[in-house]
């Protein structure tokens, strides 16, 4: 028999021996890293992640928002637990391209080690539907160094448990590539210079004509290239459109004004202003300008599910140091088609 051959002749090789060793190794691996056992119908559940608002990320406190989606492609309802404190429902495995895992964020460790009750609700995802929510990756991984990383999400259908065990097994998502750049380069008056996400080069305002500025601005919005979108946008002037906000802005210190400008940019990116709408198509109708001021009128169309909205935007521009920037705008609704 094979076992006798191995005992009697140490130089003999049992062909099945390497496979037995591999089997033992895999068994130990599964014991160390439990795999979630799918409930009935769970094999039809897709768990995916994507960057909610992809941009250039730097070594700073700037959020890295990730949209988490659980889609039910099966015939029956899928249910899972979602904790009010998301640290007990999701996690992210962030690794360098050399496969070195990053340390978890300090807040994540504190949340999971504090004693207390974990409040949750049961989410029911019907057949053909999906459920999404957004998390900041910095709440889960210590992104304090520049580099290239691979991000994979985990979701715990039965919640994360500090005592470990099979209950801690998770569903795994797709992988994303994440680049964290060095700290931003300070520009004039300490304001960080904008960087081109595609090339990594510093974006510089060029001496474009008013209509070219508006076209550059709209194209950037259509592509969600926010660093280019804000390049020719005079945020300080746009803040002054709201009298109450303008009074607060004027009363603030220089640092306070910068915080308000940052808050306004985030508000615009979240869709809290008409100027943030992204047209499906547009046509430059009229351009008028003098030595210091100009206007550009644009017909913009916004495609909905069953119809298309038409709006006429008028952008007001001002020239300073030979560079035109957008300082105000107005909108007229033209109905649908």
Residue 284 clears pLDDT 90, i.e. is over it:
yes
Q: pLDDT-derived band of residue 141, with 50, 70 and 90 as boundaries?
A: very high
Q: Is the pLDDT of residue 72 over 90?
A: yes
Contacts of 114 (CB under 8 A, 6+ apart): none
pLDDT exceeds 80 at position 212: yes
Judgement on whether residues 100 and 141 belong to the same structural domain of the protein: yes
Q: Per the structure, how many domains does the chain have?
A: 3
Range of the domain at 6: 2-32
Confidence of residue 200 (pLDDT cuts 50, 70, 90): low
How do strand 57-58 and strand 171-181 relate by DSSP bridges?
parallel
Q: Which of 256, 91, 74, 242 is nearest to 168 (CA)?
A: 91
Q: Residue 216: which CATH number?
A: 3.10.450.50
Name the average pLDDT for the chain.
Answer: 79
Q: Domain check: are 87 and 106 in the same one?
A: yes
Least confident of 32-41, 97-106, 168-177: 32-41
For residue 64, give the CATH number of its domain: 2.60.40.2360
Contacts of 150 (CB under 8 A, 6+ apart): 94, 95, 96, 97, 175, 176, 177, 178
Judge whether residue 93 has pLDDT over 50. yes
Q: Are residues 250 and 176 in the same domain?
A: no
Would you list the DSSP string of 279-293? Answer: -SEEEEEEEEE-SSE
| DSSP character at residue 137 | G
Residue 37 falls within a domain, yes or no? no
Contact 324, 318 (CB under 8 A): yes
Residues 24 and 26: their CA atoms lie apart, in Å, by 6
> Could you read off the pLDDT of 174-192 as tens digits, one per residue?
999 998 877 654 444 444 4
**Does residue 72 sit in the same domain as residue 170?**
yes
* 181, 210, 239 - which closes a domain: 181
pTM value is 0.48
Do both 173 and 198 map to the same domain?
A: no
Residue 29 CA: distances (Å) to CA of 22, 35, 37: 10, 10, 16
Identify which of 195, 107, 100, 91 has the alpha carbon closest to the alpha carbon of residue 149.
100
Question: With 60 as the cut, is the pLDDT of residue 87 above it?
Answer: yes
Least confident of 83-87, 158-162, 296-300: 158-162
């Amino acid at each position: 028999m094979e076992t006798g051959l191995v005992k009697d002749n140490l130089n003999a090789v049992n062909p099945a021996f390497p496979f037995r060793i591999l089997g033992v190794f895999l068994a130990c691996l599964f014991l160390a890293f439990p795999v979630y056992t799918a409930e009935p119908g769970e094999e039809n559940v897709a768990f995916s992640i994507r960057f909610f608002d992809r941009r250039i990320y730097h070594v700073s406190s700037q959020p890295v928002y990730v949209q988490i989606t659980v889609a039910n492609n099966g015939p029956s309802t899928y249910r899972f637990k979602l904790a009010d404190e998301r640290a007990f429902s999701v996690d992210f495995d962030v690794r360098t391209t050399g496969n070195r895992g990053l340390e978890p964020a300090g807040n994540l460790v504190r949340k999971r080690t504090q004693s207390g009750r974990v409040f949750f609700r049961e989410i029911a995802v019907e057949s053909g539907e999906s459920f999404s929510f957004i998390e900041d990756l910095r709440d889960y991984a210590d992104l304090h160094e520049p580099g290239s990383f691979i991000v994979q999400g985990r979701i715990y259908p039965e919640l994360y448990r500090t005592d470990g065990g099979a209950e801690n097994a998770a569903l795994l998502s797709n992988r994303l590539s994440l680049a964290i750049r060095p700290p931003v380069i300070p520009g004039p008056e300490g304001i960080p210079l904008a960087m081109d996400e595609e090339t990594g080069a510093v974006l510089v305002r060029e001496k474009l004509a008013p209509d070219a500025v508006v076209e550059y601005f709209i194209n950037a919005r259509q592509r969600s290239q926010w660093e280019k979108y804000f390049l020719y946008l005079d945020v300080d002037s746009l803040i002054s459109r709201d009298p109450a906000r303008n009074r607060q802005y004027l009363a603030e210190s220089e640092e306070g004004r910068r915080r308000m400008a940052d808050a306004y940019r985030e508000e615009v990116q979240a869709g809290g202003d008409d100027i943030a709408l992204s047209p499906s198509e547009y046509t430059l109708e009229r351009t008028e300008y003098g030595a210091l001021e100009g206007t550009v009128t644009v017909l913009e169309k916004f495609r909905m599910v069953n119809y298309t909205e038409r709006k006429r935007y008028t952008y007001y521009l001002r020239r300073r140091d030979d560079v035109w920037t957008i300082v105000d705008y107005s909108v007229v609704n033209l109905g649908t088609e």
